[in-house]
Amino acid sequence: MIFYDCSTAPNPRRARMFIAEKGLEIETRDVSIAKGEQLSPEFTAVNPRATLPALLTDDGEVLGENLGIAAYLEAKFPEPPLMGRTPLEKGSVLMWNAIAEFQGGMPVAEVLRNTNPHFKDRAIPGPVNHAQIPKLAERGQQRLADYFDLIEERLQSSAYLASDSFTLADITGFVFVDFARVIRVRIPETNTATLAWFDKIKARPSAAL
């Protein structure tokens, strides 16, 4: 297998953490988004969708979405389970993973990619260029505030996002909460359950990679 990573970006970090939590060592190639290498002919020959992470599997196929990569590795290396043990847990992991991605990660991306000049005409990742829409940044700030309320309520009664143990949903949640620093947003000081959850995950060796 070959893991295509980018050390500075949040989505590849999710896969990097998942691989580390599984205790796997996979040959890794770093693709620099800052240098635009994801759009190079060399990388689009690997992943035509021009996004990271990507995983070249043992079957010679390329998986280019976090959820696809995680599902593949979970099926191939079931221990430790990171996508739920029971039917209910499996459903809950995918539900909270989607919430963390679309209600947590997406608002951060909406703010960053629609305001930062570095992302001019690159408001959406992928091979096609898209213009920035600054109004989306305002909406993103509000959505992120709502998301912090939502996970605080959940974490007041649950040790982790999807269940009582650490899962893929916590990796996604942690990575995007941490990445919100790029738009100068932090966990509100009053959200004590979220702060405790964040510190607990930050202490895991996989979070330092």
Ligand X SMILES: N[C@@H](CCC(=O)N[C@@H](CS)C(=O)NCC(=O)O)C(=O)O
Eight-state DSSP code of residue 55: E
**C-alpha–C-alpha distance, residues 25 and 64, integer Å:** 19
Residue closer to ligand X, measured from CB, 112 or 201: 112
Single residue of 84, 125, 140, 173 touching ligand X by CB under 6 A: 125
Under 8 Å CB-to-CB from 114, ≥6 apart: which residues?
Answer: 123, 132, 133, 134, 135, 136, 137, 140
Binding mask 55-94 for ligand X (x = CB under 6 A): ----------xx----------------------------
**Locus of tokens 């949640």:** 173
Minimum distance, C-beta of residue 33 to ligand X, in the bound complex (Å): 5
Count of chain residues binding ligand X (CB under 6 A): 12
CA distance readout (Å), 3 to 31, 66, 107: 10, 12, 27
Q: Tell me the closest approach of the beta carbon of residue 113 to ligand X, in angstroms.
A: 8
Of the residues 51, 92, 191, 206, which one makes contact with ligand X according to CB under 6 A: 51
In the complex, the smallest distance separating the C-beta of residue 66 from ligand X, rounded to whole angstroms, is 3
Using CB under 6 A, which of 17, 19, 20, 52 touches ligand X? 52
Q: Which is nearer to ligand X, 104 or 152 (CB)?
A: 104
User: How many whole angstroms separate alpha carbon 125 and alpha carbon 39?
Assistant: 10
Residue (50 or 152) nearer to ligand X, CB:
50
Residues comprising the chain, all counted: 209
Separation CA 22–CA 41 (nearest Å)? 31
Pick between residue 66 and residue 191 the one whose CB is nearest to ligand X.
Answer: 66
The residues of the shown chain that bind ligand X, judged by CB under 6 A, are 9-11, 33, 38, 51-53, 65-66, 122, 125
